[in-house]
Amino acid sequence: MTELTMQEYIDQAEKDLLHTYNRYQIVLDKGEGVHLYDIEGKEYLDFVAGISVFALGYGNKEYNDALKNQIDKVIHTSNYYYNVPAIEAARALKKYSGMDRVFFTNSGAEAIEGAIKTARKYGYTRDGHTDHEIIAMNHSFHGRTMGALSVTGNPHYREAFEPGIGNIKFADYNDLESVKKLVNDKTIAIILETVQGEGGLTPASEEFLKGIREICDEKDILMILDEIQCGMGRTGYPFAFMKYGVKPDVLTVAKALGCGVPIGAFTMTEKVGQASLVAGDHGTTYGGNPLCCAAAAKVLEIMERDDIPSKARETGEYLWAKLDEVMNEFDAIKEHRGSGLMQGLLFDRPVSAIINSALKKGLILINAGADIIRFVPPLVIEKSDVDTMIGILKEAISENV
């Protein structure tokens, strides 16, 4: 294709791509640090990071070199053979998460699918039954594939695709009694996000998370934590559950694990690993390939060596204070939620106009639902970048409320 104007590229995309996204009207070309640039050279401060993906920012030389070096070796081999990057990435992820067994996937949704299958197989191994139930949370989001959709607690996402996988019940997030009412002899797993993302940037309360852990311990139920968005340092800890002093039986990871390369994982304790999936139960063609695992291994190395979570926690505290100031300035803002560098402002109206105004001014933001602006920048963001963002945000809000 010859070089086109921005609008010509957009028009071409609308002819060729399935319209499942209402995309913002820019064509991005490259990134550097915490900034993105469109094909006309305009600079944007990025407070989305590919939806919590590009934790290390753009153009990290160490990360890029790891990928380039692996490309020159081998990109794919299949899981019929071992490869060094997958072994190194699995060991690093085990150390970083405190889990014992790792299965690499291509995405977060596939990690959720694997977690669901793990729970079902764990129950089948235990008692030979196939009618086990899983408790999920209202307002949760776990992905778009059929299994992940089935445990996503937003009827709007599910209604056109019902019936789902079945035997799923929904409790209210941060309401332990609502969970207890659903637990019975068939319950095999409770799945939740440690911090709800699409559902409104809401962290689990300590009482809620510890209460679920107690229920699971008492009744041999698996606690599945989805940290696809809130994990990998985003809340100021390697994984968000570490703040609470609990540990899941199954943990799902993706997004920042590859910092742009498509890789996810579901991990589990040794106990679960020994009593669930065995050879032939699950598989993937691309999952765990050398290229993606080279990326993940390098990301985990940098995250631990440079203590990226601590930086996220410090900058997150600064962002929190600044967003509080914004909330106090505008009556249209009703609530400030989140943790670390995963925060949101709840408005009394749709936020699309504000986000579009900010985009025109060189700031990339994203929503979480119609009325929440979500702030999930690269974890290497500086306080000066927060100040720049706040200035543009105030202008955009002033123009639209």
Q: Which long-range contacts (CB under 8 A, 24 or more apart) does 75-83 make?
A: 75/289, 75/290, 75/291, 76/286, 76/289, 76/290, 76/291, 77/289, 77/290, 78/285, 78/289, 79/283, 79/284, 79/285, 79/287, 79/288, 83/288, 83/289, 83/290, 83/293
Q: pLDDT confidence of 385, banded at 50, 70, 90?
A: very high
- Residue-wise pLDDT tens digits, 244-297: 999 999 999 999 999 999 999 999 999 999 999 999 999 999 999 999 999 999
User: Residue 371 domain-assigned?
Assistant: yes
User: Residue 279 domain-assigned?
Assistant: yes
Give the number of other CB atoms < 10 A from CB of residue 292. Answer: 27
**Do 313 and 297 lie in a common domain?**
no
- Residue-wise pLDDT tens digits, 7-37: 999 999 999 999 999 999 999 999 999 999 9
Q: pLDDT confidence of 3, banded at 50, 70, 90?
A: confident
Whether residue 100 has pLDDT greater than 70: yes
User: Residue 234 domain-assigned?
Assistant: yes
Give the strand pairing for 133-137 and 101-105: unpaired
Number of domains in the chain: 2
Q: State the distance between the two ends of the chain, measured CA to CA, in whole angstroms.
A: 42
**Do 111 and 77 lie in a common domain?**
yes
Strand partners, 101: 268
**Do 131 and 120 lie in a common domain?**
yes
Q: Among residues 111, 150, 321, 149, which one has the least CA distance to residue 232?
A: 111
**pLDDT at position 199:** 87
**What is the C-alpha to C-alpha distance for residues 311 and 316, in angstroms, rounded to an integer?**
8
User: Residue 68 domain-assigned?
Assistant: no
**pLDDT at position 2:** 60
User: Residue 65 domain-assigned?
Assistant: no
Using the 3D structure, point to which of 278, 305, 332 is the last residue of a domain: 305
Percent of the chain with pLDDT over 90: 98
Strand arrangement, sheet containing 372-375:
333-339, 342-347, 372-375, 366-367
**pLDDT at position 223:** 98
**Do 233 and 337 lie in a common domain?**
no
Whole-model pTM: value is 0.96
User: Residue 374 domain-assigned?
Assistant: yes
Q: What is the CATH number of the domain that holds 386?
A: 3.90.1150.10
User: Residue 1 domain-assigned?
Assistant: no
**Do 223 and 128 lie in a common domain?**
yes
**Do 175 and 249 lie in a common domain?**
yes
Whether residue 1 has pLDDT greater than 80: no
Using the 3D structure, point to which of 305, 336, 370 is the last residue of a domain: 305
Mean pLDDT of 125-130: 95
**Do 122 and 148 lie in a common domain?**
yes
**Do 332 and 391 lie in a common domain?**
yes
**What is the C-alpha to C-alpha distance for residues 135 and 121, in angstroms, rounded to an integer?**
16
**What is the C-alpha to C-alpha distance for residues 153 and 191, in angstroms, rounded to an integer?**
11
Q: What is the CATH number of the domain that holds 212?
A: 3.40.640.10
- Residue-wise pLDDT tens digits, 189-222: 999 999 999 888 999 999 999 999 999 999 999 9
**pLDDT at position 17:** 95
Is 343 within 8 Å of 320 (Cβ atoms)? yes
**Do 276 and 377 lie in a common domain?**
no
Structural domain of 385? 6-59+307-398
**Do 286 and 330 lie in a common domain?**
no
Q: Among residues 240, 245, 216, 209, which one has the least CA distance to residue 52?
A: 240
- Residue-wise pLDDT tens digits, 349-372: 999 999 999 999 999 999 999 999
**Do 361 and 324 lie in a common domain?**
yes
Rounded to whole angstroms, what are the CA distances from 398 to 325, 328, 330, 372?
A: 14, 13, 8, 16
Bond from prior residue into 163 cis (ω within 30 degrees of 0):
yes
Using the 3D structure, point to which of 305, 334, 364 is the last residue of a domain: 305
Q: pLDDT confidence of 224, banded at 50, 70, 90?
A: very high
Average pLDDT, the chain: 97
Mean pLDDT of 79-94: 97
User: Residue 64 domain-assigned?
Assistant: no
Percent of the chain with pLDDT over 70: 100
Is 380 within 8 Å of 312 (Cβ atoms)? no
- Residue-wise pLDDT tens digits, 323-340: 999 999 999 999 999 999
Listed range (30-39, 45-54, 154-163, 390-399) with the worst mean pLDDT: 154-163
**Do 211 and 99 lie in a common domain?**
yes
